[in-house]
Structures are given as C-alpha cells and as structure tokens.
A and B are shown apart, each in its own frame.
Chain A
C-alpha cells in the first residue's frame, strides 16, 4: 500500500515526473531561444513560474464554479497515474498488470478532456473555440496513435502489458529496428507532439490568435496545475515511447540518452514548423498518418 502510494506520489509519479518535466520544459525554451539567437531563460524559470502562480489570485468567472475549479485536477490525476505506471516498469522493474497499456491509452486522454471541460465551464467565447479545436485534435490523433500501438503489440506476440513489451525487446532487439517499427514510431512521435500541444499542433492554445484559448480564463493555482500537467506529460510521453519502441537497453544512462533524444526531436519539429489550421491537422492525421500507421500494421502482421 505504502509502496504503491510512494510509486504514484514521489517516485516515479508526481514529484519526480514534475521535476523532470519542468527541466525538460526548460530545455525546450532554451533550445528555442538559441535557435532565435537569444540567450534564453535560466534553468529554474519554469519552477519560478509555477511558484509565482501559486501566489496569485484565482479568479472564477460567473458560471460553473465547481467544474471550472475541478477540471485541472482530473487532468493532473490522469497524467500522474500514467507517469507512475510507465515509470515503475521502466525504472524499478515492477511487473504492472495485464492490460496496463490499454489503461494508459485511456488515461492519456484525460488531460485533454480536462482542458475541454474547463474551457467550456469558463463561458468565454475564445475558450470555447479553443475547446472545440481540442476536441477535434483528440479525435484526429487518437486513431493513428492507437493503430501504431496495435502494430507494436502484434509484433510482441499480442501482449498488452508494458513489462512484457520491455522483456521481449530486451531479448529480440528494439522494435524501432524494423520497418514496421520505424513507421509506427514516426506516427506515434507526431501524435505525441499533438498530445503535448506543441507547434505545429497548438491550434487549441494559439497565443497570438485566440489568446491562450482553452486557458484564457484560468489564473493562479488552476493555471499552475494545468502547467504542471503539461510538464508531467512532457516527462512521461518520451518514456512511454521508449518503452514501446526503444526498449532494448534500459540501464539508466541509455534511458536518459533516449529521453533527451526524443525531447530534441520534439523541439526540432516545434521550431521548424508553423502552426497548422485545425482542419489541416485533422486531414494530416486521418490521411497520411493513418495510412502510414495501417502500413505499419500490415507489415507487422507479415512479420517485418
């Protein structure tokens, strides 16, 4: 019991993934700044931002107070659960349970759903535009992502358990070393980019266009919780990709290297692309990405 609580609250759950995620967020801001030929913020900037938000007033717009204030916690809970489940398999070698991959797929949609609920409860027209875009984005990227996960599962004798995925790859080599693996990895990477709300798929939060969109009415503590959820996702999703596709060597050094590598890919995609419109991203995910994911699935069935 205490061990489980420790797993989810301290390591590798809430505290650990929040710290790692905020640091990864700093890497993102620093690299972006260097690409702009700027100096960029100091390493503690994201921690300072969160700390500052805790001291600010929380303004609740007229309307659904409980929903508005409760929504951030739903997303945080989902992200923390995923962080604990992925982290304990990867770092402490625990077994997890049969079917935890499916549970993770469900939990990963919670942060997006909490954003949508919060945005709708705020009664702000710009927030509702952001919320509707978020809904469309979730519908768009879930399809190719799930297909690519199914492809990976088929390559691993149909298992749906993270520890089996890791064990299989430890003996037979990483999935990314095969054709179907690398196709599925590309699809999953872009879907994660959209899940994190990074450019080019940040239409729901477009700062310059709808002023923060879904987050427009949030201030103080709830805003800090949304930022923390983002940070935890930023720490967790690369680890999930590592488990799914790069699971051969899970010694600490290699895990860190793979983590930094995937973060670098995120930041590079973010900085070399403009924001796409929401209809363009739907067409992108339901068109080319789904076709590539289906190709990966077909290749996985014939064993490539």
Chain B
C-alpha cells in the first residue's frame, strides 16, 4: 500500500452533503466534531470545498432535485475519494420509499464505500463505521 494512501487514512477531510434529509442525521454528524467525540484526534476535519474532500458524507433520501447535484459533486471531487452513506434514508429510502419524489437509492447513483444505518445513527456508530472503512483501505481492498 502506498505512503500517500496510508496518509489519507490518517487525515480524512470530510465534505458533508445533505440530499434531502430531515436534518437529524446532520446534527448527529456535527456531534462528531464536538469535544465529547473530537474526530480531529484522528485527523478528520469537516471542510467547506469539495475540491479538498477525501470523503463525501451523504445523508437523506435522494430526491429528484438533489440527484443531479450529488452526481456533479462526485465528479468534482479529487480522487481517491470515498462515499459514505449516513442514515437509513440514504441507505434504503426509509419512509420515503413510496414517495412521488424519490426514485433510486444512493448506491444506484454512486459507488458507496460505507453504509452507516440508523435513524439517525449514533456518533459511536459513525466512528465504528469509519474505523471499519480505514481498516478496509489499509488492507488495500
């Protein structure tokens, strides 16, 4: 495994996309940065520009308006870049399954590397997921 990829697992800059969520998942994500969980210990930082992103964190149920935007964001991100789906909405559309406004799940649109289920998932669950992702990347699969 290359040195730069190893460095990436220790310095993940996260870009946060809300693609039609109820805002609860987003609040839980912000909890990760608070003193109690302090994700900066592991080099994880929330950044504002998609050009700096190493991970795209997507919440919400992919409605018709947000799908093209999510696709565009993924195209604009510098590779290597992982996609993380947070919350049951992003995973399986949850209660919006039969809605007129949502058509596909996230993994039909983008290659998703990590699924974090929950409504909303606890910060502990997200840390657990990130640890799994980092282990997977280090093993080079």
B38 and A55: CB pair below 8 A? Answer: no
Which of chain A's residues have a CB closer than 8 A to the CB of B7? Answer: 48-49, 51-52, 55
B43 and A51: CB pair below 8 A? Answer: no
A52 and B54: CB pair below 8 A? Answer: yes
Q: Which single residue of chain B is at the shortest CB-CB distance from A127? A: B49
B48 and A212: CB pair below 8 A? Answer: yes
A55 and B5: CB pair below 8 A? Answer: yes
Which of chain B's residues have a CB closer than 8 A to the CB of A219? Answer: 51-52, 78
Closest Cβ–Cβ distance, residue A18 to chain B (whole Å) = 16
For residue B80, CB closer than 8 A to chain A, the reply is: yes
Q: Contacts A41-B40, A48-B10 given: A216-B49 contact, CB under 8 Å?
A: yes
A211 and B4: CB pair below 8 A? Answer: no
B4 and A49: CB pair below 8 A? Answer: no
Which residues from 44 to 77 on chain A have a C-beta closer than 8 Å to any C-beta of chain B? 45, 48-49, 51-52, 54-59
A107–B11 Cα gap in the complex (Å)? Answer: 32
Closest Cβ–Cβ distance, residue B50 to chain A (whole Å) = 9
B51 and A59: CB pair below 8 A? Answer: yes
B78 and A41: CB pair below 8 A? Answer: no
- Number of B residues near A (Cβ < 8 Å) is 23
For residue B65, CB closer than 8 A to chain A, the reply is: no
Closest Cβ–Cβ distance, residue B110 to chain A (whole Å) = 17
Which residues from 22 to 61 on chain A have a C-beta closer than 8 Å to any C-beta of chain B? 29, 33, 36-42, 45, 48-49, 51-52, 54-59
For residue B64, CB closer than 8 A to chain A, the reply is: no
Which of chain B's residues have a CB closer than 8 A to the CB of A39? Answer: 38, 41
B43 and A49: CB pair below 8 A? Answer: yes
User: What 0/1 readout, one digit per residue, does chain A (200-215) give for beta carbons within 8 Å of chain B?
Assistant: 0000000110011001
Q: Which single residue of chain A is at the shortest CB-CB distance from B48? A: A211
Which residues from 34 to 52 on chain B have a C-beta closer than 8 Å to any C-beta of chain A? 35, 38, 40-41, 43, 47-49, 51-52
A37 and B35: CB pair below 8 A? Answer: yes
Closest Cβ–Cβ distance, residue A242 to chain B (whole Å) = 30
Q: Select B4's contact among A37, A42, A55, A212, beta carbons within 8 Å.
A: A55
A58 and B47: CB pair below 8 A? Answer: no
A36 and B35: CB pair below 8 A? Answer: yes
Main SS of the interface on chain A? Answer: loop
For residue A220, CB closer than 8 A to chain B, the reply is: yes
A51 and B3: CB pair below 8 A? Answer: yes
A56–B80 Cα gap in the complex (Å)? Answer: 6
Q: Which single residue of chain B is at the shortest CB-CB distance from A212? A: B49
A52–B54 Cα gap in the complex (Å)? Answer: 9
Which of chain A's residues have a CB closer than 8 A to the CB of B102? Answer: none
Chain A residues touching B, range: 20 to 34
Q: Which single residue of chain A is at the shortest CB-CB distance from B41? A: A39
A221–B10 Cα gap in the complex (Å)? Answer: 18
Q: Select A211's contact among B8, B11, B49, B80, beta carbons within 8 Å.
A: B49
For residue B71, CB closer than 8 A to chain A, the reply is: no
For residue B24, CB closer than 8 A to chain A, the reply is: no
For residue A142, CB closer than 8 A to chain B, the reply is: no
Which of chain B's residues have a CB closer than 8 A to the CB of A59? Answer: 51, 76, 78
Which of chain B's residues have a CB closer than 8 A to the CB of A218? Answer: 51-52
Most chain A CB inside 10 Å of its own CB: which residue of B8, B38, B40: B40
For residue B79, CB closer than 8 A to chain A, the reply is: yes
What are some 30 contacts across the A-B interface (CB < 8 A)? A33-B40, A36-B35, A37-B35, A38-B35, A38-B38, A38-B40, A38-B41, A40-B40, A40-B41, A41-B41, A42-B41, A42-B43, A45-B11, A48-B7, A48-B10, A52-B10, A55-B2, A55-B80, A56-B54, A57-B78, A57-B79, A59-B76, A207-B47, A208-B48, A212-B49, A219-B51, A219-B52, A219-B78, A220-B78, A223-B51
Other 9 A-B pairs with CB < 8 A, given A55-B8, A56-B4, A223-B51:
A39-B38, A40-B38, A45-B10, A49-B11, A52-B11, A55-B2, A55-B4, A57-B78, A220-B78
